[in-house]
Amino acid sequence: MDKIRNFCIIAHIDHGKSTLADRLLEATKTLEARDLQAQVLDDMDLERERGITIKSHAIQMQYNYNGTQYTLNLIDTPGHVDFSYEVSRSIAACEGALLIVDATQGIQAQTISNLYMALEHDLAIIPVMNKMDMDSAMPDEVEDQIVELLGCKREEIIRASGKTGLGVEEILQAIVERIPAPKGDPGAPLQCLIFDSVFNSFRGIIAYFKIVNGTIRPKDLVKFVATGKEYEADEIGILKLDMVPQKELSAGNVGYIISGIKTSKEVKVGDTITHVKRPCAEAIDGFEEVKPMVFAGVYPIETEDFEDLRSSIEKLQLNDASLTFEPESSAALGFGFRCGFLGMLHMEIIQERLDREFNMNVITTVPNVSYKVFTNKGACLEVHNPSGLPDMTEIDHIEEPYIRASVITKTDYIGQIMTLCLGKRGELVKQEYVSGNRVELIYDMPLGEIVFDFYDKLKSISKGYASFDYHMNGFRPSKLVKLDILLNGESVDALSSLIHFDNAYTLGRRMCEKLQELIPRQQFDIAIQAAIGSKIIARETVKAVRKDVTAKCYGGDISRKRKLLEKQKRGKKRMKQIGNVEVPQKAFLAVLKLD
């Protein structure tokens, strides 16, 4: 066991984690030259297209140090705030972490929050300054920031470059010297922590685990503690680029298990695996339950695809444990699911993955957050969906979730960022200088305000320099109203939203204008209205396409024309009663992207 090192790589988005991981794999000869490609651990097409890591990836390397062979288990993690749950799971399976800071940008918000997460789990931290080959690198300034943040010595910071391979050998030596070997007893009863799982259509569900105590061999009878189900371990092994079967794995190792599990409900991330004959006394503390931040309805375009959508979401949930879902129905869209996501990017990625991996075409409703509604009778309801809101006469008050947001930016952009945060009903808590020209602004803001476009606007105002991170900070009473969109007097529940009273008028107005552009013209007038309760606050009309019925009247008496127009008017009236208005999918999406 003293020859094993388990470590993860944590950093802010785009600080070069995956590129540095490539160099480590190259230096330890884990990859053949022909397998080499940039960001080799990002194996999803989606990750390559967007240049971001979505999933944490585990891989094992062998490293020879002073004549001794060491086994290094690396877990590369995402950097975006929406995938921080992946990072927390990786940290739970490691004893050490490489903290990577971009020498051209310095410490950013996600660096700090991931670092705190690692320190809570008592991981050994190895600070690495990446991108040292860049002309715009500021090694001395960034070194000062790291020393201030970590309280480490200057000589402990490794200068590296993922592009040129500078400092890779030093990093490998530091991993062996500074990261402690895993603690555990190979002879004790088996205890394994599941930190990830994937669905394979040929082999069933494959669970990735870290062994804390004990030893596991193929054909062992194992039990999953949370579900109480028992299986035979068909195959166990370690993770290289592909899965490599092994005869046995003992404490401290990271590996996978295939036991022919078919249904996704039987594997839970954070669960403990143990032997049936000699079970462990207690389960390992898993991870904290994930708290979704953004809720949206996901509906199949064809109603008969409902069951296929259910199984697709279940399989996706195996691979992404931060996704939560429950069935719901809507008058406009039929049956679907109310899904919980960690943020807007997460929601977009899930929608893309459903389309690519499972061929599911879905409609997503307007995203919102969960509110606490207190009724006159003193009851408290949690509402995720505007249609679940009780009648306004029964509501005493509504509380909405607040977050504590931390924005780190250059001093040049403070004014614009403050204007943006105040526009989103933010309250400045404090402002402190991290270093020379970098400042950290801490705001309390309603979560509902940052759900849509806050992150995009922040990036464009600060030319990509500002970094953003947040955590939940309780609920506060707020003046919220339900904004309904009516088409010909019929409410479209998929477009209704809960919104703060001050913003309701402008949003209602803009939604009506947008829908007027996108709803195709019919044979009758379509009234698009935004309403709060019974009060209409905005209206637009899609004009009817009409035939010129008076074209055949030339000359003659006006009463002939009047007769034809009256007849047309009666027909239009009847048509309006039986006609229905189709809202195209792009109208739903456009309403989400109102800026």
Known binding residues are 14-19, 130-133
Q: What gap in Å lies between CA 211 and CA 216, rounded to an integer?
A: 9
Strand partners, 433: 439
CB 129 within 8 A of CB 154: no
Q: What gap in Å lies between CA 373 and CA 394, rounded to an integer?
A: 10
Q: Residue 65 CB: number of other CB atoms within 10 A?
A: 14
Q: What gap in Å lies between CA 160 and CA 211, rounded to an integer?
A: 32
Q: What gap in Å lies between CA 383 and CA 385, rounded to an integer?
A: 6
What does 38-52 look like in DSSP terms, one character per residue? TTTT--SHHHHHHT-
Q: Which residues lie closer than 8 Å to 144 by C-beta, 6 or more apart?
A: 435
- Count H helices and E strands in the chain, helices first: 14, 31
CB 62 within 8 A of CB 96: no
Q: How far is CA 28 from the centre of its chain?
A: 32
CA dihedral 391, 393, 394, 399 (to 10 degrees): 80
What does 163-191 look like in DSSP terms, one character per residue? TT-TTHHHHHHHHHHHSPPPP--TTSPPE
CB 361 within 8 A of CB 355: yes
CB 163 within 8 A of CB 19: yes
Sort strands 480-487 and 490-491 into parallel, antiparallel or unpaired.
antiparallel
Q: Which residues are annotated as a binding site for GTP?
A: 14-19, 130-133
Strand partners, 464: none
Strand partners, 374: 380, 397
Strand partners, 403: 445, 472
Q: What angle do CA 187, 192, 193 make, to 5 degrees?
A: 150
Sort strands 68-76 and 4-11 into parallel, antiparallel or unpaired.
parallel
CA atoms 156, 157, 159, 163: torsion sign: positive
CB 122 within 8 A of CB 87: no
Q: What gap in Å lies between CA 171 and CA 17, rounded to an integer?
A: 13
Q: Is 150 exposed, middle or buried (0-12, 13-18, 19+ CB in 10 A)?
A: middle
Instruction: Write out the two tokens for 517.
Output: 């552009």
Q: Residue 139 CB: number of other CB atoms within 10 A?
A: 13
Q: Which residues lie closer than 8 Å to 303 by C-beta, 6 or more apart?
A: 334, 335
CA atoms within 13 A on the CB side of 534: 3
CA atoms within 13 A on the CB side of 253: 24
Instruction: Write out the two tokens for 76.
Output: 């590369």
CB 211 within 8 A of CB 252: yes
Instruction: Give the total residue count for the chain.
Output: 595
